[in-house]
Copies of this chain bind each other. A is one copy, B any other.
Amino acid sequence: MSWLRSAFQDELDGVTQTLVDLSALVSDAITRATHALLTADIKEAEEVIASDDRVDDIQHELDARIIDIIARQQPVASDLRALVTALRMSADLERMGDMAHHIAKITRLRHPNAAVPSELLLTIEEMGKVARLISDKVGGVINSRDVEKAMEVEKDDDEMDKLHRKLFTTLLDDKWSHGTETAIDITLIGRYYERYADHAVSVARRVYFLVTGKFSK
């Protein structure tokens, strides 16, 4: 019954495609959230906040579809593992969307003021770039199952951690003159970028495990 197997394969491919679509959406969201944050652009921040509902809707639809495929096709072994892993990846991607949303909300909260003082603009801009790079790469990895690329994501995350530490170094410098409110904002913003990258690493590790059967570290 090769046509049955093939219909099932089509369904798995559809799941993969939706995960790739989700990673493109969150990549776009973090890029625009960063831009809005750095330029205190309330319109763009509002757009990011509104667009998160779409990510949530797609994730809910995808999860229902995956459970339906498991119920109908009763896959075992590697196919079942791939579907369960897809459920977990969709949860990671949804959380990445939430992080972009949280960043946009800080922009909105401080508007018309800028949440980020000028001496931190470059670091945050870098964090946004690394975040985008990571989620773009993760989208590619979900599609290609390229384990080499999956392992690169860990290195990109090290870069994010370095930027995160740099943020704290600036906050803790004696010259810090922006008060506690800005320190709180920057602490949370830093945490959101870090978590965004952590979830991307989690997706990359899941792909690595699916392909190799081993944990990547």
Contact = CB atoms under 8 A, between A and B. Distances in A.
Chain A contact residues, majority secondary structure? helix
Contacts of A188: 187, 191
A47 to B, nearest CB: 25
A181 interface: yes
A2 to B, nearest CB: 21
A154 B81 CA distance: 33
Interface stretch (A3-11, A71-79, A119-127): A71-79
A172 interface: yes
Contact of A74 (B74, B88, B191): B74
Nearest to A72: B76
A91 interface: yes
Contact of A71 (B80, B172, B191): B80
Interface in A153-204: 168, 171-172, 176, 180-181, 183-184, 187-188, 191
Interchain residue pairs A-B with the least CB separation, the first 9: A74-B74, A187-B187, A71-B76, A184-B187, A180-B183, A183-B183, A71-B80, A171-B180, A67-B84
Interface of A: 67, 70-71, 74, 76-77, 80-81, 84, 87-88, 91, 168, 171-172, 176, 180-181, 183-184, 187-188, 191
